[in-house]
Structure 1
Amino acid sequence: MQIILVRHGRPEHSAASWCTPAQMKGWLERYNKADVAGHEVPDRLVSLARASGAVVCSSVARCVQSRAFLDVDCCLQPDPLFAEAHLPYLDWPFPRLPPSLWRLLFRSAWFCGFARHTEPIGESNKRAGAAAERLIQLAEAHGSVLLMGHGIMNVLIARQLRKRGWAGPLHLLMRGYWHASVYRKGSPGR
């Protein structure tokens, strides 16, 4: 049995202008609605998807679009259980910084317990546990399952899979778009 966690494709979203903490709300909304660059899908990922017994995805548009680029028939309905743990933000009108810096600061603060305007890390961890259980059920039923998911939620799900005896990569945080990480029950991962 195997579970494959994949980070969605690269959103076509500009991060050029600086913004305030309060303006991050709009930035995040635009990021969540951005189309995905489908021409970048690796051939290896398409092969993994075609060999999978089931392919699931988050209900967030960038994951639904990314999964569609895989062009497979074994797809299940998009599921909000797999949605990203969104970034918190502050309602401050200053200072202005690059969105990439705000993302780093707010994600770091989220890991430390700051959750204004979003789900706290504890709730995200519980949801990741439920997501891991769902993926395990699908792997048991289909032999293998591929999840088109998100960077942070995939990290949390991977941790839950390892707690349940699945072997695979320990660190997913800095992996790029379209990256696939394979987890197997009781055997070394890639």
Structure 2
Amino acid sequence: MTSTIVIIRHGRVAITSDGLFSREDFLRYVEDYDAAPLCSDSRPPEELIEQLRLARTLLASELPRARESSRILFLDQDIRYDATFNEEPHHLVPRLPFRMPLVAWFAWSRVGEAMSPSLQRAVAARGSIAAKLLIVEAHHGPTALIGHGWFNRVIARSLIESGWRCSLRHGGSEPWSFRVFSSRE
């Protein structure tokens, strides 16, 4: 028998991200992003809907964009929200005296995390815990998670290290992208 886990990134968030940002602007943007709703026209692709038709267990991050995405995808089905799947915070945002595009701030933040062995271990340990929760559920039937771009990659790495394989990848890390993982029991 094959176990299946679908890991999904939430829908497109209704927030402006153009222009140059100071460090303080970036930190405020992250807070606003965490609280923002989805764009009113943010709809999942049909390929994702097809993947979810057989899901027995539905999990989601507790953050608003994941909650709203799960309601769009699963409607009235029973969804378990769990902070274990929340996006990894931006722990290390450098104090730079100039303005940059958001993508540069996000990169600097994640590079800083990668340069900290203790933080790297903590993030990997959290990803391993999240992956183990998904694996336990997947042994009872197809499982789906609505999560976030960065932390979904951490979870995916832990699944692969646990012997799971990515059998389908739809999209990169854009909104509504997803990966399907499978394992032979």
CA contact (8 A) 2:21 2:101 kept: yes
CA distance in structure 1 between the aligned counterparts of 2:32 and 2:158, rounded to whole angstroms? 30
TM-score by length of 1: 0.85
Instruction: Please tell me the residue identity of whatever aligns with 1:153.
Output: F
CA apart distance, 1:167? 1.0
CA contact (8 A) 1:32 1:62 kept: yes
CA distance in structure 2 between the aligned counterparts of 1:170 and 1:95, rounded to whole angstroms? 41
Q: Say whether 1:87 aligns with 2:85.
A: no
Instruction: Please tell me the residue identity of whatever aligns with 2:128.
Output: G
CA apart distance, 1:168? 0.8
**Structure 2 spans left out of the alignment, 5+ residues:** none
Q: Say whether 1:155 aligns with 2:158.
A: no
Identity of aligned residues (%): 24
CA contact (8 A) 1:57 1:147 kept: yes
Report the equivalent of 1:63: 66
Structure 1 residues 110 and 93 mapped into 2: Cα distance closer, same or farther (>3 Å)? closer
Which runs of structure 2 are paired with 1:40-189 in the superposition (5 Å)? 40-90=43-93, 92=95, 94-113=97-116, 120-141=119-140, 143-168=141-166, 174-186=172-184
Q: Is the strand fraction higher in 1 or 2?
A: 2
Instruction: Please tell me the residue identity of whatever aligns with 2:16.
Output: S
CA distance in structure 1 between the aligned counterparts of 2:130 and 2:170, rounded to whole angstroms? 17
Report the equivalent of 2:24: 22
1:110-163, Cα deviation, whole Å (9 max, x unpaired): 222299xxxx3321211111111110111112x110000111111111111111
Larger RCO, structure (CA 8 Å, separation 6 or more): 2
CA contact (8 A) 2:164 2:182 kept: yes
CA contact (8 A) 1:20 1:96 kept: yes
CA contact (8 A) 1:8 1:178 kept: yes
**Structure 1 spans left out of the alignment, 5+ residues:** none
1:35-88, Cα deviation, whole Å (9 max, x unpaired): 113532111212222321111101111111111111344433210000111223
CA distance in structure 2 between the aligned counterparts of 1:135 and 1:87, rounded to whole angstroms? 24
| Aligned-residue RMSD, C-alpha | 2.5
CA contact (8 A) 1:16 1:98 kept: yes
CA apart distance, 1:107? 1.6
Stretch of structure 1 that moved more, 43-52 or 127-136: 43-52
CA apart distance, 1:17? 3.2
- Say which of 22, 32, 35 aligns to 1:33: 35
TM-score by length of 2: 0.87
CA contact (8 A) 2:93 2:105 kept: no
1:7-54, Cα deviation, whole Å (9 max, x unpaired): 111111111232211332111101111111353211121222232111
CA contact (8 A) 2:9 2:152 kept: yes
Aligned residues: 182
Structure 1 residues 27 and 66 mapped into 2: Cα distance closer, same or farther (>3 Å)? same
